[in-house]
Structure 1
């Protein structure tokens, strides 16, 4: 077995995943739990990392994600676009000198403000590993979907859409809530929502979904899928993807399939990528750059 080199932690808001990574880049062991930053009390991050080292090994640790936010361990100032692996390494925050570092997020400041934390490791990893080319459009669907344009292997520009959060708000806190209880599936109702998105009347079309059920024109069980198609379709069309272009999608299979259908509907080509493999490739490239110095 290869020698343990470092531990990588993808530390999000609600979940955490730690990887013990060997000197040849192989993953020796993985831990996953619900100890996201919101469940860790201020001043307790040192102890949390110590527990992970006790289980995985006493080696350096690289942390990415919301652990570097104002709510996390220590705020890691953003690197600015354009940003590649070297820019992230230059702005590492060593919370335990030589032992534990937090990877900075990336900020977009060119006329429009945007930020990311954690996603930068994935998209750069997708490129350095050859999963995606150095000039590409990558999509990371989720609560806050990221659309990242890569140029010459760097994050050149990106845009965040509150697509997943909007669906959750509609489901839990809106007049549509009682109509959105069913699971979302990539079937005919979802496709109808994608088609509806081409009308560019998002706000009025959302209310129309309720009206159609109340008037007996549509089945309530289809509403969640139609609304999801409307939101995701609007998100994808906002990106103005060229017909025949390619979008590299980093997501789990279920959500990725919805976005792939929406991309296909615009005439572009979706390519599904393994988001976990991309993260590991990115954080290993960061480690190799540190170790090489």
Structure 2
């Protein structure tokens, strides 16, 4: 790692953009910079102009934001994962095919020269017949050392589009996608349920409401229970309290219901704001010795571990 003392981690998602200057050997973060300029907004801005080509437009933004990071000796390489390699991003790279291993040798990458001799390593995503992902495959590689003591299981990466990835002996084999987070936003804001739901903080009542909704979704599925959210408000005159977490529980219960008889380890790695909800649901049916909890700091570091693996794999 001495030859690559530092690198810039770029996580360019659909709605967010994040840079971190990282010490390669220790993964110590020296500086960090975030914006809300995800590839969706960047693509819209690119399409609204004609002066620059796609790569030049995206790289102009990227290079300008890198200038905001602390200066270190030399022009350190940049590793970019996430939606930057999608058809809305900097340059579309084809998806690699499952399975893939902890070293990332099957992932498709491309090196791109930047100004002043700096280089960018763009990492593609992974697809299967049942799903696709860009960015989470790098996180999975970074989490592998946490999974390996258990030999086999399913890794859950919840989010706007949740990913469930099967793991066995250092390799990831199958992928399922669930649009849980996006469905929640649509149902809460655009559906007939909207007037029956309002945002709440998670307290003891919220937890009870979540577990009630989770039970509905887990046992009977999503669609038979959706209108119950509105019925409790309009017909039973119970108000809107609890419906925010009741709907969340319903969706997550439906997402996780296929795992009820899996009999293997379940690894949960999620951002802080949704970690507790998935944990509550999983604890209702997964034995404690089979549920492995990987909290937000572990997930954050996993991205850097995975990006470092890709950097060193393509360093030559």
Q: TM-score higher than 0.5 here?
A: yes
Query: Separation in 1 of the partners of 2:284 and 2:270?
Result: 18
Deviation by residue 1:211-234 (Cα, 9 ceiling, x = unmatched): 122122534211111111111011
Q: 1:222 to 1:73 in 2, by over 3 A?
A: same
State the secondary structure of the residue aligned to 2:14. Answer: coil
What does residue range 179-190 of structure 1 map to in structure 2 within 5 Å?
179-183=196-200, 185=202, 187-190=207-210
State the secondary structure of the residue aligned to 1:285. Answer: helix
Of 162-171 and 133-142, the range deviating more from structure 2: 133-142
Query: Separation in 2 of the partners of 1:119 and 1:79?
Result: 13
Does the CA contact (< 8 Å) of 2:102 and 2:170 recur in 1? Answer: no
State the secondary structure of the residue aligned to 2:127. Answer: strand
Whether 1:278 aligns to 2:273 is: no
Residue aligning to 2:17: 16
Residue aligning to 2:31: 29
What does residue range 1-293 of structure 1 map to in structure 2 within 5 Å?
4-24=5-25, 25-40=27-42, 41=46, 42=54, 43-56=56-69, 57=71, 58-88=75-105, 91-96=108-113, 99-108=119-128, 112-127=129-144, 130-133=145-148, 135-183=152-200, 185=202, 187-216=207-236, 218-240=238-260, 242-243=262-263, 245-268=264-287, 269-273=291-295, 274-291=298-315, 293=316
State the secondary structure of the residue aligned to 1:125. Answer: helix
Deviation by residue 1:221-274 (Cα, 9 ceiling, x = unmatched): 11111111111011111334535x432222122301100111111234241332
TM normalised by structure 2 equals 0.83
State the secondary structure of the residue aligned to 2:76. Answer: coil
After TM superposition, give the deviation of residue 85 of structure 1 in Å.
4.9
After TM superposition, give the deviation of residue 184 of structure 1 in Å.
6.0
Q: 1:151 to 1:77 in 2, by over 3 A?
A: same
Which segments of 5 or more consecutive residues in structure 1 lack a partner in the other structure? none
TM normalised by structure 1 equals 0.89
Of 48-57 and 271-280, the range deviating more from structure 2: 48-57
Query: Separation in 2 of the partners of 1:76 and 1:32?
Result: 24
Does the CA contact (< 8 Å) of 1:89 and 1:286 recur in 2? Answer: no
Deviation by residue 1:132-158 (Cα, 9 ceiling, x = unmatched): 225331111111011111222222111
Which segments of 5 or more consecutive residues in structure 2 lack a partner in the other structure? 47-53
- Paired residues in the alignment total 285
After TM superposition, give the deviation of residue 281 of structure 1 in Å.
1.1
Query: Separation in 2 of the partners of 1:104 and 1:209?
Result: 40
